[in-house]
C-alpha cells in the first residue's frame, strides 16, 4: 500500500483532551501507534494542552464544551479534504497547527471566564465580611452604651450654666468601673468657626482634669458625647464643659461654661 489515511484533526484534538468515547479513543490510539505523521502532531497537541493546563487554575469542563469545540473547528477554513496522503506531511502539519491554536484559544476562554467569576466571588465575600465586622462593632458599641445607661451604680449628673440665668444644660451618666461616659447637652450657644466645646472629668483624688471629648452643637443647640476614650476606674468629683480651640486642649480654659457635681 502506497498511501495511508490520517485521523481527522478534530478527532486528534478531542483525543488530546480525552473527550472521545472509549471506542473512538481506542481507534485513534491504534492509528497513531502506526502513523508517524499523526503521532507527531498528536504529541504537539498534547504538549500545548499540558502547557496551558499548567498556566491556569483548573476547573471542570463546562457542559456542552465538546460540542462547541467541534463546531468551532468545523467552521474554520480548511483544505477541501480532511484526508491527506502520507507524502503530504507538511500540509497535515499546517492543518494540525491551526487546530492546536483553536484548542488553546478555547481552553483559554474557559479558564479566563472561570478566573473572573472566582475573583468576583472573592470580592463579594470580602465586602460581606467587612459589613459583618462593622455590624459587630456597632452592636458592641450599642451594648456598652446600654450597660452604662442601665447600671445601678452609674452616676447621673446634671450640668447647668454658671451664669445668673442658665439656659444651656447638660446631663452625664458615668460608670467609673468601666470608664463608660454618656453626655447630652441642650440649648448650647453657637460656636465661632475656630472653636469647640470640650467635656472634662474632674477626678475626686484632686488630680488634673481629664479631657472627655470634643463636641459642637447642631442647629437646635443639642450635642452629645458617647463613650469617649478615658481611663478606667477614675472616681469623679465633678464634670465641666469649656470652650476651646478647634483641636481641643490638654487643660481647661476658663471660664467653666457648664459644671456639675458627681453624686455618690
Phi, psi of 196 (to 5 degrees): -150, 160
Location of C-alpha cell 474632674: 202
Cα–Cα distance, 88 to 95 (Å, whole number): 11
* Residue 77, all three cell numbers: 477554513
What's the CA dihedral at 53, 55, 60, 65 to 10 degrees?
A: -70
pLDDT at residue 50 in the model? 67
Count the alpha carbons within 13 Å of 31 in the hemisphere toward its beta carbon.
Answer: 18
Distance from C-alpha of 146 to C-alpha of 129, rounded to nearest angstrom:
26
Please report the pLDDT score of residue 156 as a whole number. 87
Beta carbons of 147 and 227 less than 8 angstroms apart: no
Edge-to-edge strand list for the sheet holding 155-161? 210-215, 195-203, 236-245, 258-261, 155-161, 169-175, 180-186, 223-226
221 burial via Cβ count (<10 Å: 0-12, 13-18, 19+):
middle
DSSP conformation letters of 4-31: -PPPPHHHHHHHHTT-S-HHHHHHHHHH
- Cβ burial of 126 (10 Å; 0-12, 13-18, 19+) is exposed
Contact 239, 202 (CB under 8 A): yes
Give the per-residue pLDDT at 155: 87
Please tell me the predicted confidence (pLDDT) of residue 111. Answer: 60
Domains of the chain are: 9-118 (no CATH), 155-261 (2.60.40)
What is the three-state SS of 189-241? CCCCCCEEEEEEEEECCCCCCEEEEEECCCCCCCEEEECCCCCCCCCEEEEEE
pTM for this structure?
Answer: 0.46
Cell matching residue 40: 507527531
Give 163's DSSP letter.
S
User: CB–CB of 82/8 below 8 Å?
Assistant: yes
Within 13 Å and on the Cβ side, how many CA atoms surround 22? Answer: 0
- Quick one: pLDDT at residue 203? 96
Report the run of H or E that residue 74 belongs to, with start and end.
helix 65-74
Residue 251 — φ and ψ, nearest 5°?
-135, 145
Per-residue pLDDT tens digits of the chain, which is 264 residues long? 334 588 877 788 788 777 788 888 888 899 989 998 888 888 887 776 666 555 555 555 566 666 666 666 666 655 444 444 434 444 444 444 455 555 555 665 666 566 666 677 778 888 888 999 999 998 888 888 888 888 888 888 888 766 555 589 999 999 999 999 999 999 999 999 999 999 999 999 999 999 999 999 999 899 999 999 999 999 999 999 999 999 999 999 999 999 999 876
Amino acid at each position: 500500500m502506497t498511501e495511508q489515511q490520517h485521523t481527522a484533526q478534530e478527532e486528534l484534538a478531542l483525543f488530546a483532551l480525552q473527550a472521545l468515547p472509549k471506542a473512538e479513543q481506542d481507534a485513534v490510539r491504534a492509528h497513531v501507534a502506526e502513523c508517524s505523521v499523526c503521532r507527531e502532531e498528536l504529541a504537539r497537541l498534547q504538549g500545548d494542552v499540558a502547557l496551558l493546563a499548567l498556566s491556569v487554575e483548573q476547573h471542570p469542563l463546562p457542559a456542552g464544551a465538546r460540542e462547541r469545540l467541534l463546531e468551532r473547528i468545523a467552521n474554520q477554513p480548511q483544505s477541501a479534504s480532511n484526508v491527506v496522503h502520507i507524502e503530504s506531511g507538511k500540509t497535515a502539519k499546517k492543518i494540525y497547527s491551526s487546530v492546536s491554536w483553536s484548542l488553546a484559544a478555547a481552553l483559554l476562554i474557559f479558564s479566563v471566564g472561570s478566573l473572573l467569576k472566582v475573583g468576583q466571588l472573592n470580592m463579594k465575600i470580602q465586602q460581606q465580611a467587612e459589613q459583618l465586622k462593622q455590624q459587630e462593632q456597632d452592636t458592641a458599641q450599642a451594648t456598652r452604651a446600654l450597660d452604662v445607661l442601665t447600671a445601678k451604680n452609674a452616676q447621673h449628673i446634671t450640668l447647668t450654666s454658671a451664669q445668673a440665668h442658665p439656659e444651656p444644660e447638660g446631663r452625664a451618666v458615668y460608670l467609673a468601673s468601666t470608664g463608660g461616659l454618656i453626655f447630652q447637652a441642650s440649648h448650647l450657644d453657637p460656636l465661632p468657626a475656630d472653636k469647640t466645646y470640650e467635656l472634662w472629668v474632674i477626678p475626686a483624688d484632686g488630680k488634673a482634669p481629664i479631657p472627655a471629648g470634643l463636641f459642637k452643637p447642631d442647629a437646635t443647640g443639642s450635642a452629645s458625647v458617647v463613650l469617649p476614650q478615658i481611663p478606667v476606674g477614675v472616681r469623679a468629683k465633678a464634670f465641666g464643659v469649656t470652650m476651646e480651640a478647634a483641636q481641643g486642649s490638654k487643660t481647661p480654659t476658663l471660664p467653666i461654661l457648664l459644671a456639675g457635681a458627681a453624686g455618690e
